[in-house]
Amino acid sequence: MKIIFFGRPGSGKGTYASRIAPHLGIVHIATGDMFRAEVATGTPLGKLAEGYMKAGNLVPDDVTINMFKERIAKDDAKKGFILDGFPRDLEQSHALEKITKIDLVVNFVIDEDIIIEKALARRICEKCGNIYNIADIKRGNIRLPPLLPKKEGICDKCGGNLYQRKDDNYETIKDRQDTYVRQSAPLLEYYRQKGMVKDVSVIGGPEQMVPIIIDVIKKSIK
């Protein structure tokens, strides 16, 4: 199975992908996570990417596409994958097309104002990257409960400290939304015209969403 998870930054796709990929026996490839790892270890690639990430801009295509090509060429990607954060513009999607054929694009639908509230409340484990969220959102039929660790500020999985991502501040979050509308939304129309897109409304937390998404995937890919 070769699947793209698509949607606004902060739509929850990273959380869903990290849970669903192991369930389907495929790998989760997140270019944002890969860039953050490069930044954390201070590689030349990380140093280059950091400024773009802070500004909520896309890292240049040639750099991103090269990094992605190396990742997708690894053995574990042969059994299938969920792409999270790639492709993010038309040039990246064309590069992807030359590498492999995608079965399905799952598009997560959620309003920008909810995303912003949720994104400001995101916390990440500094050791293992596990994601938590401290906001409790109720609006109409939408109910996004918090995703709290058992002990405040500490990761359940590994005991690491939780932190707020540097790029999870209001300005950058808003810039990332604008970048999405400008550069990534046209990509969605491109996939839609090819009949590859299944829309999924984000109405609940991961516990509620994960089975819904797995169902959509199993019905769409035989």
* Residue 127 interacts with which of ligand ADP, Zn ion, none, CB < 5 to 8 Å by class: Zn ion
Which helix (H) or strand (E) segment is 5 a member of? strand 2-7
- Please confirm, yes or no, whether 8 is among the known catalytic residues: no
Nearer to ligand ADP, 24 or 119 (CB): 119
Q: Which of 5, 6, 35, 108 binds ligand ADP (CB under 6 A)?
A: 35
For the CB of residue 7, give the shortest distance to ligand ADP in the complex, in Å.
9
Which of helix, strand or coil describes residue 8?
Answer: coil
* Centroid of chain to Cα 82: 10
- How does strand 27-30 pair with strand 142-144? unpaired
Cis peptide before 87 (omega within 30 of 0): yes
Check if the beta carbon of residue 8 is closer than 8 Å to that of residue 110.
yes
Of 20, 174, 180, 176, the closest CA to residue 106 belongs to: 20
- Please confirm, yes or no, whether 88 is among the known catalytic residues: yes
- Please confirm, yes or no, whether 176 is among the known catalytic residues: yes
Q: Which of 12, 85, 205, 206 binds ligand ADP (CB under 6 A)?
A: 85
Should residue 149 be labelled a site residue for Zn ion when binding is judged by CB under 5 A? no
Catalytic annotation, pick one of 13, 71, 118, 123: 13
* Centroid of chain to Cα 170: 18
Nearer to ligand ADP, 92 or 197 (CB): 92
Point out the residues that are catalytic: 13, 88, 122, 165, 176
Residues of this chain that bind ligand ADP (CB under 6 A): 9-10, 31-32, 35, 52-53, 56-59, 64, 85-86, 88, 92, 176
